[in-house]
């Protein structure tokens, strides 16, 4: 008689791996949502509110906001953790043979990288330039900052929100899918 222990162990191992994949996918979705929501809040409430203040107030308030965000550990963990966890989720889903979900997670990773790159390449340098501005040059500093920063923020918001949509599509793609590869 043949033992069924081998297949049972393999099924149990796949089951544990599948649970881990679900956890990593959920863990990736949360910080992507936090980041997308933060960018969205700036787009629809913070920046429109700041557009009503004078130049000196704008520079002072924006610098205070930037300073608080750049030193905010929960946001920084979400901002960097979203990238790492989404990458891990793509890898795990691919390894388990959950190809449809893996493709959605990979799309989310690419979109989040776009958002990340816009932040690092456009928004942060603009923040640094604004922080160096003097209040006597507030009008000039605001003119160099506001339009470009808002456009970049809108672009990164869309990219982060689309990444979130892709992660939720990955959750949907998992429904009924069974791991096909031992890991």
Sorted by where each begins, the domain ranges of the chain are 5-174
Lowest mean pLDDT among 9-18, 41-50, 132-141, 168-177: 9-18
- pLDDT: which is higher, 73 or 8: 73
Confidence check: pLDDT of 42 > 60: yes
CA dist 131 and 64 (Å) reads: 9
Candidates 86, 148, 138; CA nearest to 113 is 86
pLDDT in tens, 54-103: 999 999 999 999 999 989 999 999 999 999 999 999 999 999 999 999 99
Q: How many CB atoms lie within 10 A of CB 173?
A: 19
CA dist 113 and 65 (Å) reads: 23
| DSSP H stretches of helix in 42-123 | 47-50, 55-70, 73-95, 99-118
CA dist 105 and 98 (Å) reads: 11
CA-based torsion, 57, 58, 59, 61: positive or negative: positive
- Measured at the CA of 62, the angle between CA 61 and CA 64, to 5 degrees, comes to 65
């Amino acid at each position: 008689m043949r033992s069924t222990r081998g297949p049972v162990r393999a099924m149990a191992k796949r089951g544990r791996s599948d649970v881990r994949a679900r956890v990593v996918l959920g863990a990736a979705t949360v910080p992507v949502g936090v980041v997308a929501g933060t960018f969205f809040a700036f787009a629809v409430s913070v920046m429109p509110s700041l557009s009503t203040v004078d130049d000196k107030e704008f520079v002072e308030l924006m610098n205070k906001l930037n300073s608080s965000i750049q030193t905010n550990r929960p946001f920084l963990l979400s901002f960097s953790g979203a990238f790492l966890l989404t990458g891990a989720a793509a890898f795990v889903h691919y390894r388990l043979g959950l190809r449809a979900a893996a493709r959605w997670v990979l799309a989310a990773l690419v979109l989040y990288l776009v958002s990340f790159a816009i932040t690092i390449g456009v928004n942060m340098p603009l923040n640094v330039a604004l922080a160096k501005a003097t209040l006597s040059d507030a009008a000039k500093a605001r003119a160099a900052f506001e339009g470009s920063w808002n456009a970049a923020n809108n672009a990164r918001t869309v990219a982060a929100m689309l990444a979130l949509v892709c992660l939720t599509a990955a959750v949907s793609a998992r429904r009924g899918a069974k791991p096909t590869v031992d890991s």
